[in-house]
Amino acid sequence: MSSQTLVDLLRGGVVTLKIACGAWVVSAVLGLALAVLQDLGIAPVRAVQSSLVIGLRSVPQLVLLYLLYFGLGAVGIQVNSILAAILALGIADAAFSAEYYRAGFMTVPRTQREAGFSLGLSPVGVMMRVVVPQTIPFVVPPLLNSFVGLLKTATLAAAVGAPEILYRGQNAMSRTGQLVLVMTVIIVLYVAATMPLTRAVAVLERRVRSHAHG
Amino acid sequence: MRTDKTIGGLDAAAGAGPLLEARGLHKRFGRSEVLHGVDFSVRRGEKVCIVGPSGSGKTTLLRCLNLLVEPTCGQLFYKGAHIGEWPGGVKVNVGRYRSRIGMVFQHFELFPHLTALRNITLGPRHVLHEEKAAAEKRAMELLARVGLERFATAHPRTLSGGQKQRVAIARALAMRPDLILFDEPTSALDAEMVDEVLNLMRRLAEDGMTMVIVTHELSFARDVADRVVVMEHGAVVEEGAAETMFSAARSQRTRDILRVGARR
């Protein structure tokens, strides 16, 4: 493989990383917003929101991506392929992040909320000052896990022509015909990127658990 | 949420009437009624101890007073203003109402993600919207007042039970409340830590703080309380001036409860 092809793949890797990071931020923020809204329990919001979550979970990410990229294009809003991928993957993943947050909220005893209320905090204040901060250690490991997932689903962006790693890999394969070699390089890059992350999640999980009991 | 106009009453000077008054409070949880029409009031500067066996409704009464629990029936008045009427609901901004009433919990309920100092400044900063520097200065003064100025940066998990409860009291004081509700503040403490908390509460009482205290500490009640309310089965059995109650209570049941004390 020429060094130029390798550089090209690495550049693609950077784009993949960008998409995954962007989608992760969208997912973490939107997931938090969904979980907080659901917790505040305003009935109509809750109804809309839970159907949204179910909907998001059942739609394949690729469909969402096509919808955002081509659908918005059809109504005259031009989105670039990377941004469309960030939004589509982030929104789809937010449905899962929301569940991580909700599970985290359940670890905070009701009496903690009461302590916040007794100071005069509003329901939103109690969520943001008392409940959410205590939840963070519990949601960091699953959120990091979902980042690993996003690194992989980011390759879906190839379908709308985002110049990420798989897209460039396909080009390199058709240019050089070295299918196995190109795929092997991609696999090696992926393993190198995810292994330390997976280790970090395991370590963090152990730390959170011992902290919770200590 | 109502406008400031409705809660104007919260700011009015208390007249001759009680600071806080509950009339005919009923509270039902599902099929069981835990309060059967309780009348309760506290005047400014008064120290009221609520005693009685466990399950008598003391804690529920206390939690109704700051609306952590909404009564099923009854009325609540604060400085003469109508806070709420049930069935029906709250007539004021609940957050502002609660901010005037401190609460100290049996299990402290310090925020574990915050240092002692931040526990104390949370309310002033985010409810009263005080400047950070001012809130921290006052929090340090309060920590000194409860004898824990060295622990400003300590996290709750590193504090003893008695220290936690003293920080919790400082947290309540930081809001400059009109009164403080204490829900069995020493029940979760090891014996050797009970006195440090009770002594602090005695000092608060001497400083003129209005206090409503649910407690099993009868000698404390006898020393500190102006008035003692004895509850059983969700109703007030008897109430009166502390010295009368401990020496010449009318009912035999009161004499039993005050002599023997309630066991949890």
Of A112, A118, A214, the CB nearest to B68: A118
Read off the pLDDT of each residue in A192-200 and give the average, rounded to a whole number. Answer: 89
Is a pLDDT exceeding 50 seen at residue A131? yes
**DSSP per residue, B94-161:** HHHHHHTEEEE-TT----TTS-HHHHHHHHHHHTS---HHHHHHHHHHHHHHTT-GGGTT--GGGS-H
Interfacial residues of B (vs A; Cβ cutoff 8 Å): 66, 68, 95-103, 105, 107, 109-114, 122-123, 126-127, 157, 171, 175
Number of separate domains in chain A: 1
Closest residue in B to A118 (Cα–Cα): B98
**Full domain range(s) for residue A161:** 3-213
Q: What is the CATH number of the domain that holds A46?
A: 1.10.3720.10
Is a pLDDT exceeding 50 seen at residue B14? no
**Residue B263 has what pLDDT?**
42
Quote the minimal CA–CA distance from A148 to chain B in Å.
Answer: 28
Quote the minimal CA–CA distance from A95 to chain B in Å.
Answer: 27
CA–CA gap between residue A49 and residue A34 (Å, rounded): 7
CA–CA gap between residue B2 and residue B91 (Å, rounded): 7
Q: What is the DSSP letter of B260?
A: H
Q: Select from A58, A37, A57 the least CA-distant residue to A49.
A: A37
Say how many CA atoms lie within 13 Å of B153 toward its Cβ.
0
Read off the pLDDT of each residue in B216-225 and give the average, rounded to a whole number. Answer: 92
CA–CA gap between residue A178 and residue A120 (Å, rounded): 67
CA–CA gap between residue A63 and residue B184 (Å, rounded): 58
How much is the mean pLDDT over chain A?
A: 90
Read off the pLDDT of each residue in B218-228 and give the average, rounded to a whole number. Answer: 93
Is a pLDDT exceeding 80 seen at residue A214? no
Quote the minimal CA–CA distance from B27 to chain A in Å.
Answer: 18
Read off the pLDDT of each residue in B32-49 and give the average, rounded to a whole number. Answer: 95
**Residue A51 has what pLDDT?**
83
Strands B210-214, B227-232: pairing is unpaired
Helix (H, G, I), strand (E, B) or coil at A197: helix
- B1, two tokens: 């949420």
CA angle A27, A32, A38 (to 5 degrees): 125
Q: Which residue in the block uniquely carries the two structure tokens 């993600």?
A: B113
- B192, two tokens: 């050797």
The region of weakest confidence among A72-76, B114-118, B197-201, B256-260 is: B256-260
Amino acid at B102: G
| Cα-only R_g, chain B | 18
**Which DSSP helix (H) or strand (E) runs through A26?**
helix A3-40
ipTM of the complex: 0.91
